[in-house]
């Protein structure tokens, strides 16, 4: 019994509000499957407590932490280094602590691209994104870095949309254009992959982005970032038209698995991670 180790490797998340964030279940399902002596702790931390919390994590020897709203940009000022994606996107959702040094990553967009890769490659594709917030930025940048040809951004707020166009054109080989979101906005017929990266549909199975459904063609792949409920109204309508669809669950699982890889250098089995989320979302 002398060699039992009662000290776990610690990881966690800093966000606010956090009580409804199921990440802990997903990550710990992965740890358990792999027999890792590791824990993940959800912490209610907003920008005003972020610096102290990071110092605490370093002091306690945490392997790292994930960041969710509203800390994804705020956290950057406390980091020593940024991975390329995080630097271009300008937001961090995963921090690795190694020998007291902090490195920021952004795995949201990578999680999406990886989920999409089970259906198609983004190389040379025309992608239309609804939204220009954090999720849209991450997806647009990763898609462009992965070789997408053109990205059309449809957003309500023009300034945010134009800023993302500039970001893509300044930092990647892809072309980008902005379309003002007007009522029943039409999807460009050149679109090969349509992605809802707005928050419309979160916790609301009846909500749908205000687009002209008649402009969605059967050949388009339609994806949604919303993990809950996974089958959003947009995806149900697209499926009715015969489109191939992709929900937000695998994106969430993939970014979580990538975070664990960043912390431990270990590839975890994603199946129990996904199953844990499905159980939670179905129970609601």
- State the residues that interact with ligand NDP by CB under 6 A: 108, 111, 131-136, 155-157, 160, 181, 198-200, 202, 225-227, 248, 251-252, 255
Residue 267 appears among annotated catalytic residues: no
**Nearest CB to ligand NDP, comparing residues 8 and 21:** 21
- Which residue in the block uniquely carries the two structure tokens 């949201």? 108
Angle at 283 between CA 272 and CA 271, to 5 degrees: 10
Q: How are beta strands 94-98 and 64-67 bridged, if at all?
A: antiparallel
Q: Can you tell me the distance from the alpha carbon of 179 to that of 151, in angstroms, rounded to the nearest whole number?
A: 11
- Shortest separation between residue 131's beta carbon and ligand NDP, angstroms: 4
Rank residues 15 and 59 by Cβ distance to ligand NDP and give the closer one.
Answer: 15
Rounded to the nearest whole angstrom, what is the least distance from the CB of residue 70 to ligand NDP in the complex? Answer: 9
CB-based closest residue to ligand NDP: 133
What contacts 171, CB < 8 A, 6 or more positions away? Answer: 88, 141, 144
Distance from C-alpha of 186 to C-alpha of 181, rounded to nearest angstrom: 9
Minimum Å distance from CB 274 to ligand NDP? 12
> Smallest gap, in angstroms, from Cβ of residue 99 to ligand NDP?
29
Question: Which token pair is 23?
Answer: 């990440």
3-state secondary structure 14-43: EECCCCCCCHHHHHHHHHHHCCCCEEEEEE
Structure tokens at 217: 């063609």
Q: Of 33, 49, 72, 218, which is the active-site residue?
A: 72
Q: Calculate the alpha carbon distances from 10 to 14, 45, 91 in Å.
A: 13, 17, 23
Q: Which residues are catalytic?
A: 72
């Amino acid at each position: 019994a002398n060699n039992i180790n009662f000290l776990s490797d610690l990881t966690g998340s800093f966000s606010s509000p956090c009580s409804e964030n199921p990440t802990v279940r997903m990550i710990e399902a992965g740890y358990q499957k792999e027999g890792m002596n590791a824990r993940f702790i959800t912490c209610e931390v907003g920008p005003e407590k972020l610096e102290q919390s990071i110092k605490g994590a370093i002091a306690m020897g945490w392997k790292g932490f994930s960041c969710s709203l509203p800390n994804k940009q705020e956290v950057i000022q406390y980091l020593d280094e940024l991975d390329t994606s995080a630097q271009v996107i300008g937001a961090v959702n995963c921090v690795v602590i190694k020998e007291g040094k902090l490195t920021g990553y952004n795995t949201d967009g990578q999680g999406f691209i990886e989920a999409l890769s089970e259906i198609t490659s983004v190389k040379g594709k025309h992608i239309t994104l609804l939204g220009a917030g954090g999720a849209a930025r991450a997806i647009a940048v990763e898609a462009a870095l992965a070789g997408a040809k053109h990205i059309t951004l449809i957003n309500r707020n023009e300034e945010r949309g134009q800023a993302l166009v500039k970001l893509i054109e300044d930092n990647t080989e892809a072309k980008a254009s902005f379309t003002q979101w007007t009522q029943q906005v039409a999807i460009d017929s050149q679109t090969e992959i349509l992605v809802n990266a707005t928050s419309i549909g979160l916790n609301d199975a009846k909500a749908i982005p205000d687009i002209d459904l008649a402009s969605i063609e059967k050949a388009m792949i339609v994806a949604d970032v919303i993990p809950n409920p996974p089958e959003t109204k947009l995806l149900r309508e697209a499926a009715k038209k015969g489109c191939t669809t992709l929900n937000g669950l695998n994106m969430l699982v993939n970014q979580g698995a990538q975070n664990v890889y960043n912390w431990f250098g270990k590839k975890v089995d994603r199946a129990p991670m996904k199953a844990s989320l499905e159980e939670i979302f179905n129970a609601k």
